[in-house]
Structure formats: C-alpha cells, structure tokens
Amino acid sequence: MYDWITASFDITNIPYQRFVSNIVQVSEVKNFFTNTTWANGYLTNNTTGRKMGVSVSEKRIKIKICPNKFIIGNNAQEAPIEEIFNTMYDLSNQLGIDLGNFILEQLDVTHTAITEYVPEMYFPYLCNTNGFNRWQLDTSLYYDGNSANVQKVFYDKVKEVDKRKTWGGRQHLPDELKDKNLTRFECRLGSNAEIVKVIGQKASLGQFFSEEHIDQLQDWWLNQYETIPKTTELEWNFKEDMGQKAVDETINHLGLMSLGRLQIEELIELASKQGAYKHPSQKTASKKKLLGVFEMNGKKHELIKELDIKFRNTEPKWD
C-alpha cells in the first residue's frame, strides 16, 4: 500500500554527527543558497540488499524509502503494514532517532491488480477528469493534478520492473507473478500539506500505522480511481413507433460513440485553444451537451468492469 515514503525531522538541538556516524555516507552536498551542507548516505537491509536513503544536515534529517523493495526486495508485491511498522522500529534503533516523529513530505499509495490484459488495453476507457491533466507516455497513463503535488498514474508494473535499476540491483518478479499482467494504480502526494488534506491533521510517519489513517488513505486511493469518468459506451436500438426525434437522437448518439468520448474531449479542448468559443460558458455548455450523453445514457466497457472489480476488492495487507 505504501510504495514510497519521504519524511524528515528537525534536529537543530541535536549534534548531527551522531546520525552521520550511523549511516554509510556516499556524498556531501552544499546548497549555496541556504548555506546548508547535506551528508547523503544509506542504511541497508542485509536480507534483501535494498537501501533506505538518509540525508543529514545540521538542522534536519531526511529519509527516503520504498518499503516494499526494502523489505521484500521488489515492489510488485506489497509488504504487510505490520512488517513495515516493525522495520521502521528497527531503523529507528539503527539511526538513534524515532522515525515515527518524522514529518511526511511525500507518500505514494498504491495497489496492483492482476488483470486479463496489459494495462494499455484499459487506457482508452479511462477518460479526462476535472482538476487533472491526462496524458500518456509509453505504457503509463498520468493524471497531473492542478496542485503540482498531486499525481495519479496507471502503469505496467511488469515493464517497470524489467527496465528499471534501483539501489541493490535490478528487481525480479516473484515466480507467482511471472507471465501475469500487472496493472498498477498509484496515487502520489508530494507535500505534507496534501497529505494533511487526506487525513485531516498533522502528518507524521507514526500516524500511518493506525487503522484509522490506513482506512482514510485506502478510501482516498479508491476515490481517486472512482472519480475518473469511465462511461464510454452508448446502447442503442430502434423500437417500433419510436418516432423521428428518437431515431435522430439515437443516430446522433451512435455518431458520438463512434467518435469516442476521449476524442470528443480532445476536440472541445482544441476548439477552446483555437478561440472558437466566444465565452468560457460556451465550452462548459459543449461539455454538458456532448459528454452529458455519456453520463446520462452511457455504460462502462467490459474491460473497465473488470478493472472496477479488481480495484474495489483490493484491501491493505495487514500482516
């Protein structure tokens, strides 16, 4: 569930050398704008060979970790919440400071579904959503939020594992996931302020092992999926004595479905950029009229129905 954690803590009143001495230091970087020098290094899980990044300055200590890779050696699988908690406890002892008090700066909440097809097969039926900019790169579909610190992405976990090298070497899929299609849906919160919006209070690392906050984040993750419009199919038939108006409307609906919801959305945006609308309200009216057909009369493609079931049945792995 937690695929990436960045968190930091104020150590102004603590000699920072005591933390540097507890890590394997690989570099020292000075920020000339803030006149701050950072010692960068890591701690290693000797079982998996994976590392947690640690940076220390005179005023602050920061950690960066993918719990799944660190604990089980890959992040195609999910490490249990209980095991992540125990690992953070052990790392606290190694560093000599309670990681539970660290303030979260970035949190990725994610689950991976074993799907019938490769992820790209589902992308045409995942449409634009308010407050996000939708774009695709290779085997990943991104939704960038109006806030630069919020992003959600669907991607091919198999491809990502195959091509990406990380600390501790290249990842390998476990035997039970080989030859499977792995569709990941990941939601990224890139600031403490955005994390606070989800849980409603100060976001420290220790809070994210309570059932209350895990449930909040799980619900938020699923809601990010649910709010993406997915009704792209329009049913039609000609009935006896339905009349000209109904026939014309049905044919119009067929034309819209043939063009496709995504293409209609793109054309509306193109028209707006070309200055075709005299007033922004006209763009809104176009969306309401043309996309409203899909909202009122549309249904989901069979591929999306499968994806709905897979993601709605996903739960945090507790132990």
Cβ–Cβ < 8 Å for 160, 182 = no
* 272-284 average pLDDT score: 91
Cβ–Cβ < 8 Å for 68, 55 = no
| Residue 202: exposure state from Cβ atoms within 10 A (0-12, 13-18, ≥19) | exposed
Determine the angle formed by the axes of helices 261-273 and 244-259, rounding to 10 degrees.
80
Split at pLDDT 50, 70, 90, the class of 5 is very high
pLDDT at 311 over 90: yes
pLDDT at 69 over 60: yes
| Residue 315: exposure state from Cβ atoms within 10 A (0-12, 13-18, ≥19) | exposed
pLDDT at 164 over 70: no
Split at pLDDT 50, 70, 90, the class of 68 is very high
pLDDT of amino acid 247:
86
* 53-69 average pLDDT score: 94
- Closest-CA residue to 264 (of 310, 237, 232, 239): 232
Report residue 101: phi and psi, to 5°.
Answer: -90, -5
Separation CA 143–CA 128 (nearest Å): 8
pLDDT at 143 over 90: yes
Separation CA 289–CA 284 (nearest Å): 9
pTM of the model: 0.88
Pull the structure tokens for residue 239.
């009935």
pLDDT at 241 over 90: no
pLDDT of amino acid 246:
84
* 114-123 average pLDDT score: 96
Pull the structure tokens for residue 268.
């509306």
Cα first-last separation, the chain: 12
Cβ–Cβ < 8 Å for 247, 253 = no
pLDDT of amino acid 30:
84
Instruction: Encode pLDDT of 97-113 as tens digits.
Output: 999 999 999 999 999 99
Average pLDDT value for the chain = 90
pLDDT of amino acid 43:
95
Separation CA 38–CA 58 (nearest Å): 8
pLDDT at 167 over 80: no
pLDDT of amino acid 166:
59
Letter string b/e over residues 263-275, b meaning 16 or more CB atoms within 10 A of that residue's CB? ebbeebeeeeeee
- Give me the helices (H) in 184-277, please: 192-199, 211-226, 244-259, 261-273
* 180-184 average pLDDT score: 95
pLDDT of amino acid 97:
95
- Closest-CA residue to 229 (of 284, 304, 314): 304
pLDDT of amino acid 257:
81
- 181-189 vs 150-156, strand pairing mode: antiparallel
Split at pLDDT 50, 70, 90, the class of 169 is low
The distance of Cα 244 from the centroid of its chain, to the nearest Å, equals: 47
pLDDT of amino acid 160:
79
pLDDT at 26 over 70: yes
Identity of the highest mean pLDDT range in 112-121, 167-176, 264-273: 112-121
Letter string b/e over residues 143-181, b meaning 16 or more CB atoms within 10 A of that residue's CB? bbbeeeebbbbbbbbbbbbeeeeeebeebebeeebeeeb
**One-letter amino acid for residue 208 of the chain:** F
pLDDT at 253 over 70: yes
